[in-house]
Structure 1
Amino acid sequence: MHSPTLPPALLSALRRVMRPLVRLMLRKGVTYTVFADLLKEVFVDVADREFRLDDKAPSDSRISLLTGVHRKDVRRLRTEDDTASMALPENITLGAQLVNAWTSNSPFCKTAGQALPLPRLASVGGDVSFDALVAQVSTDIRARVVLDEWLRLGVVRLDEQDCVHLEAQAFVPQKGFDEKAAYLAHNLHDHASAAVHNLTAQGQPFFERSVHYDALSPASVEVLRETVASEGMQTLLGFSRLAADLENGDLSSLDPRQRITIGLYFYTEPNSPTAPPP
């Protein structure tokens, strides 16, 4: 039986939120014991960083009281190296910048959001080439290195004329588990952070909305899937162009910097066979 001080609705929500993550862990061999040890680290780290009194580092005893983690474990975990950075890996950050330039900047796109096929070499395409695209964003990395990595991830393809085609209208790797895992961490963290803020914090809420229906045929679901993929991507590209323009205008500002995430997702699954008919 749960303590009466713990909201049953919150425990029910946490149980449901954890289900897809547990499904992933079981598929990848992450056992309960491994996850429990990982969860201890997170509990201790969050309590240490975010639950301070008068901005003073809490004692091991206070963290143990807050989290339920044994004080010996608290002491051990606080002396170990910090957890991995929340920042996206550099290759993903650079990739997002390149895709934004390819889909937004002349002469690399036909219209906003429609990336042109680019000759691979500057010796062939000049300023309208994949070499030129990479050089516009970074002079520290060779275009061939980027191309090889993107071919591995399925972000681009090469045709018979040695032109590079963008396969996704945003930097979303089709292959590469590590890159997909980085997006999982980034996107789910920020989505969950917005929802937790709206549930627990005062002040202006973050935009966090969805629509849901439960009596659609498979054919109707496919119509929605394709519409979200096309129109949703155009919406996100529009936000990306606006954010890039605003960021460029902020270069001379002395205001403190903030990061943002804007997301859109689609999910479907069969209704439970035990559910009553509509």
Structure 2
Amino acid sequence: MAILVAFGTIDGAGLARSEDTSVDALQLHGPLARLLRPLVRLFIRTGMTFPALSQLLRELYINVAEYDFALPDKAQTDSRVSLLTGIHRKEVSRLRGAGAPVNVVPAALSRTSRIIAYWLAAPDYTDTTGAPLPLPRAGEAPSFEALVSTLTKDVRARAVLDEWLDRKLVSLDEEGRIRLEEKAFVPQNGSEQQLYYFGRNLHDHIAAAVENVLGQAPAFFERAVHYDDLSGPLAAKLETRSRDLAMNVLQEANREAHSACETDAGGDWRWIFGIYVYREQMKPADKDIGKDAS
């Protein structure tokens, strides 16, 4: 049994990030195959065929080359995009401007997330342990009506409450107070909310790892603790414990960020702090890879 702690790596090999930033395509084959495998499993199970994925990748290659690799004070040309991507110039000309947006937040999702985050962070809405207080429907803060009106003027608190009761994000206790349910933290499988954060969270995690591989300085914090060759009960116990630790850290980070934002002048930056937990039964091939890495 061995512990490996990864420092800014994509494949979790337990090695410190190299200062050499020259990475060629052949070096990426192994890590990318491992990274993409669960995504390919998702594609096949949901019916996304290879031709459909290929078309999406073609559009994204052109989109990234057009906007992320433009030269200063020079218009990006079809020829240069073709040179960067290896896609024929006629295809580049046809597809420029395409590419799925990655930063569009559905309005209802943005409103829900902001209200829940406020409920979990504002001192008036949490108890001494940091847990969200049960709220009366109306009245002065802390109340559900005051909570919603603090964050949005576009939707009435009653409409938000009806929606959340239907989605089981909240429940009513015996005194008629509104309680935030654990489901509010865990989006429903396949829901718009889950799919949005699926794209956003994986994008940000991968973006941090990519910047570290390319030599971002200082490196983004991107580390993991992992043990192999465990029994099933111990793996389950460690997962449960790590979930509790992670939730405590996330709630504390949310409270500190909320407090800091109260006096922040605002700007054009964004910040994210995420934690993931995973366990699986190892296959023989996985065990061989683990022995080679250690």
The answer to whether TM tops 0.5 is yes
SS in 2 for 1:210: strand
Residue type at the aligned position of 2:105: L
After TM superposition, the structure 1 = structure 2 runs for residues 220-239 of structure 1, keeping only pairs within 5 Å, are 220-239=234-253
Give every structure 1 segment of 4 or more consecutive aligned residues whose post-TM-superposition deviation is greater than 4 Å: none
TM-score, normalised via structure 2 length: 0.82
The answer as to whether partners of 2:63 and 2:97 remain within 8 angstroms in 1 is: no
The answer as to whether partners of 1:154 and 1:173 remain within 8 angstroms in 2 is: no
Deviation at 1:237, TM superposition (A): 1.2
Partner residue of 2:206? Answer: 192
SS in 1 for 2:284: coil
Deviation at 1:257, TM superposition (A): 2.6
> In the aligned structure 1, how far is the partner of 2:129 from the partner of 2:116?
12
Aligned length: 267
TM-score, normalised via structure 1 length: 0.86
CA distance 1:151–1:170, shift in 2 (3 Å): closer
Does 1:133 find its partner at 2:147? Answer: yes
Partner residue of 1:73? Answer: 91
Deviation at 1:173, TM superposition (A): 1.9
**Identity over the aligned pairs, expressed in percent?**
40
2:255 to 227, 230, 241: 241
Deviation at 1:74, TM superposition (A): 0.9
2:131 to 107, 114, 123: 114
SS in 2 for 1:269: coil
After TM superposition, the structure 1 = structure 2 runs for residues 144-223 of structure 1, keeping only pairs within 5 Å, are 144-168=158-182, 171-175=185-189, 177-223=191-237
> In the aligned structure 1, how far is the partner of 2:220 from the partner of 2:271?
11
> In the aligned structure 2, how far is the partner of 1:161 from the partner of 1:86?
41
Residue type at the aligned position of 1:199: V
Which has the larger displacement, 235-244 or 27-36? 235-244
The answer for unaligned runs of 5 or more in structure 1 is none
What CA RMSD, in Å, does the superposition of the two structures yield over aligned residues? 2.4
Residue type at the aligned position of 1:117: P
The answer for unaligned runs of 5 or more in structure 2 is 1-22
Residue type at the aligned position of 1:225: E
Deviation at 1:160, TM superposition (A): 4.9
> In the aligned structure 1, how far is the partner of 2:88 from the partner of 2:168?
46
